[in-house]
Amino acid sequence: MFQSSGINFDKYEDIPVEASAPRGVAAPEPICSFAESRLDDLVKQNIELARYKTPTPVQKYSVPIVCSGQDLMACAQTGSGKTGGFLFPILSELFKTGLRPPMDPAVSGRRKAYPSVLILAPTRELASQIHEEARKFAYRSWVRPAVVYGGAEIGNQLRQIERGADLLTATPGRLVDLIERGRISLAG
């Protein structure tokens, strides 16, 4: 018999959550459903397609915090929904604000990526996981998620970012490498 290390949905409401905000700023009220959130309709549709029924405890608090433009630091176990907690509001904001200017031709005719969003991950495994979630929830949109990390063939990653990298997930080392090569810019 296998044991799940993820969240125990039977004990959902018993999970303690603490939200604090800077002095003089109130933390937004938690959401009870994705439908009542301020998320863009396409994000809500993709959440439904993924068969997510109810926000996890971390998402109940993190979605309204990130949607309100406040900073978020969350600590929760594996499988608790942390990635969705920050990714849903980020994608929602991208969908609402629209496209940034197109990529410019760079050195020797190559295209340089100018991501609108950068998510740094400490390991390639986590970067890949975040990227897969970004692809799932950017479905049927103009947002092109991309991922770059060390320890993998760089050619495929270069071709991927040339096709577009609106939301880039990266490990620090590979990100610095591609910035130094003139293939990614954080300007703008």
Every domain range in the chain assigned CATH 3.40.50.300: 9-97, 107-180
Report pLDDT digits (tens) over 92-145: 999 999 866 555 554 444 579 999 999 999 999 999 999 999 999 999 999 999
User: For position 100, what pLDDT does the model report?
Assistant: 62
Q: What's the pTM value of the predicted model, to 2 decimals?
A: 0.85
User: For position 66, what pLDDT does the model report?
Assistant: 95
CATH number of 9-97: 3.40.50.300
Q: Which two tokens stand for residue 112?
A: 């340089």
Between the alpha carbon of residue 178 and those of residues 8, 87, 113, 162, 169, the distances in Å are 41, 23, 10, 12, 13
Q: Which two tokens stand for residue 147?
A: 């991922």
Report pLDDT digits (tens) over 138-164: 999 999 999 999 999 999 999 999 999
**Is domain 107-180 in CATH 3.40.50.300, yes or no?**
yes
User: For position 14, what pLDDT does the model report?
Assistant: 75
